[in-house]
Amino acid sequence: MTYVPMTARSRDEDHRAATPLELFFDLCFVVAIAQAGQCLVHSLAEGHPGSGVIGYFFVFFGVWWAWMNFTWFASAYDCDDVPYRIATLVQIAGVLVYAAGVSRAFNDNDWTVAVIGYLIMRVALTAQWLRAASGESGAARTAALKYAAGLVLCQAGWVALLFAPNESKRWLFLVLVAAELLVPVLAERGHQTPWHAHHIAERYGLFTIIVLGETIAASTVAVKSAIDEHEALGELLPIAAGGLLIVFAAWWIYFAVPMHERLTSNREAIPWGYGHLLIFASGAAIGAGIEVAVEHAVGKAHISQVAANAAVTVPTALFLMMVWLLHSRHFKRGPAQQLVLPGAAVAILACTWTGAYAVFYAGLVATATVAVGQTLSVRGGSRAAVAV
């Protein structure tokens, strides 16, 4: 655990797997995801879907982008010495500060605490990129320095955002989002950092599990609280069963294909990595939607049955469509296999208008999707035996 030079890891390294530190880093994001989900629940249950979804997207972007910044750097330069571990723990502290500011950012458009959290994370990550640059030469050194400069410039923009008029913060936020997304594209022009395809696919899979696990936890708490207060077991059991079937199917579908085989260069990896913003956000939103459905069932949410159903069916359909777009379609053979997930997404959206049992019906559709996809993949000789 002594200090070692930070040099690039091999893209062909055998048996590359997530480290305990990376798993610990991921775990700390549960707090931020839970805060974002609770804010979304309150907005939807109060009948403010527009502002709720926009606010949820903004705060979830901060969660996802902080995770992205660390994950791709670690895949290329993780040396696991004392300075590296300390810098990572500092970033974890920043994540927790950001989580503490989520509700203010969501409800009051006050990003002060969230930006302070990002500032803490960025100080540590910038130091990491500068350290990587010191151990590199040529194009690799230039790329690392571009990353460091991009982080500093973008963070300066976030600090400046705090002093902008409230009515313009939302639009300026989108400008800064675009700037953040451009940093990796520009930094890696001329040199691809040596991220490890199998490691990256595993890291994304682990974060998907965390998101789905948060959904299960939030749903369990919601159902338990409703039963304790109202004893509305007849209304809640179909929601609980349907939600569980949706989460089980979401897990099965996401992990059905060996995605690392397609991550051969930045041309495939950057759109794939960026597209996961919608996979992660919709996966977590399913749990928030189940909470809204529970609150409606016991009379706490003063919204229509259709609105309560849509809180579950819309994010579920979005999750399936994004998994198909980023993952599954690359491993399909023939139109029948290709249409399984898009067709399931449409069917789940149609469940929105099926009344009080909509969540249960959506769960049945999700389960049927797995069964149909499994049958077609076996008959069609798909490369992935469990592909859907």
Q: pTM score > 0.85 for this model? A: yes
Residue 4 pLDDT > 80:
no
Tokens coding 261: 């085989």
Architecture of domain 197-379: Up-down Bundle (1.20)
Q: What is the mean pLDDT of the chain?
A: 89
Distance (Å, whole) CA 228 – CA 223: 9
Nearest to 292 by CA among 259, 315, 320: 315
Model pLDDT, residue 42: 93
Tell whether the model's pLDDT for residue 106 goes beyond 60. yes
Pairwise CA distance, residues 63 & 95, whole Å: 8
Question: Nearest CA to 177 among 111, 126, 264?
Answer: 111
pLDDT digits (tens, 9 = 90+) for 254-283: 998 777 778 888 888 899 999 999 999 999
For 131-183, the pLDDT digits (tens) are 999 988 899 999 999 999 999 999 999 999 999 988 888 899 999 999 999 99
Cα distances (angstroms) measured from residue 86 to each of 1, 78, 89, 90, 309: 12, 12, 5, 6, 45
Domain borders along the chain are 20-187, 197-379
Cβ partners under 8 Å of residue 92, min gap 6: 24, 25, 28
Q: Is the Cα torsion angle 291, 296, 299, 301 positive or negative in sign?
A: positive
